[in-house]
Amino acid sequence: MRRVLIVAFEGAQTLDVTGPAEVFAAVSRVLGRPTYEIVFASMAGGTHTSSSGLPMGTRELARLRLRRDDTVLVAGGEEGPIRDVLADGRLAAWLRRATGRVQRMASVCTGAFILAAAGILDSRRAATHWMGCDRLARLFPRVDVDRNAIFVVDGNIWTSAGVTTGIDMALAMVEQDHGRALADRVAARLVLYVRRPGFQSQFSEAQVAQTGGSDPLGPAITWARRHLPEADVETLARRAALSVRTLHRRCLDALGTTPGKLLDKLRVEHARTLLASSALPAKTLAAQCGFGNAARMRRAFERELGLGPREYRALHAAR
């Protein structure tokens, strides 16, 4: 059996631990035979309490003999627990020694800060929770922080964005090990609405988190995503039952951007998926996303992502 070491600590985010664990456990249930051995581990071993108060029994990392086909997955947590782990330093040192001896080294959410402290992410692309991207880039300037990806694979180093994206990353690992058909069966067993690929934008999660059901921006943004070719600022304002001036102020207050830039972000978000998952020519793709023409799409991509559509497709398109 392949082995997955899920590394926790006091205050680790519950879903960062249990989400990926259930994905790997579900593989064995789907196939009807033991497939992954899941080991919950920590530096000291013993019982730790997760962010939601769940007691987690763990084994001591130093007592585990690493294998070449191991996956080591480091959970994240809130700022306080992560700060305590970084101040202690022992986990970062263990991870640094383990990196070259395992098949995959991975982190979920703010676990990326721990990998970065170990130097594992130096000169690599990496993802973390969208709220922590700026801080990760500031504290560890040698890390190429991808502020948009759900998860990032750079060599044998995997990093995922916020919380539930650890499930998406774990499913991608199952696909790497056993093929897409099995990963899809596991996703169906877990009743996931859709498997999210790594190139999907975190922008969706940011918008959902910042616009609740009672906020008029929520339904307006949902409508805009479904009608990008005809969406404009005036129509968005009508959908939100706001004047254009009030919509502008509300977008700035709630989302830190203007309505026009918000629409461009939504269009870039959709175009990224099409670029990575289809062979549509740029002109057709630009029309479907509401850019009007390929030149405008290119400018929006360069403004939002720092690279053009052609470069983005070369980087993320399915091989």
Concatenate the DSSP letters of all residues of 294-318 into one string: HHHHHHHHHHHHSS-HHHHHHHHS-
DSSP label at residue 12: B
Residue 12, domain member (yes or no): yes
Can you tell me which residue has the tokens 């005809």?
230
Say yes or no to pLDDT of 215 above 90: no
Assign 253 a pLDDT band (cuts: 50, 70, 90): confident
CB 285 within 8 Å of CB 228: no
User: What is the structure's pLDDT at 257?
Assistant: 86
Q: Which of 69-73, 244-248, 268-272, 288-292 has the lowest mean pLDDT?
A: 268-272
**How many structural domains does the chain have?**
2
Q: Are residues 148 and 241 in the same domain?
A: no
Q: Which of 29-43, 58-72, 101-115, 298-312 has the lowest mean pLDDT?
A: 298-312
Q: What is the mean pLDDT of residues 38-59?
A: 97
CATH number of the domain residue 49 falls in: 3.40.50.880
Residue with the larger pLDDT of the pair 207 and 262: 262
Q: Residues 282, 286, 292, 298: what is their CA dihedral angle, to the nearest 10 degrees?
A: -70
CB 228 within 8 Å of CB 267: yes
283-286 CB contacts, 8 Å cutoff, 24+ apart? 285/309
Q: What is the mean pLDDT of residues 29-50?
A: 97
Q: Are residues 172 and 276 in the same domain?
A: no
DSSP label at residue 28: H
The string of pLDDT tens digits covering residues 158-211 is 999 988 999 999 999 999 999 989 998 998 899 875 556 665 566 555 454 444
Q: Are residues 225 and 305 in the same domain?
A: yes
User: What is the structure's pLDDT at 225?
Assistant: 87
Q: Are residues 207 and 185 in the same domain?
A: no
Q: Which of 80-94, 164-178, 199-213, 295-309 has the lowest mean pLDDT?
A: 199-213
Q: What's the CA gap between 305 and 247, in Å, rounded? A: 25
Q: Are residues 234 and 259 in the same domain?
A: yes
Range of the structural domain that residue 306 is part of: 203-316
Say yes or no to pLDDT of 214 above 70: no
Please report, rounded to a whole number, the percentage of residues in the chain having pLDDT higher than 90. 71
- Can you read off the two tokens belonging to residue 287? 């029309």
| pTM (two decimals) | 0.72
User: What is the structure's pLDDT at 197?
Assistant: 61
3-state secondary structure of 145: strand
Q: What's the CA gap between 89 and 86, in Å, rounded? A: 5
Q: Are residues 227 and 92 in the same domain?
A: no
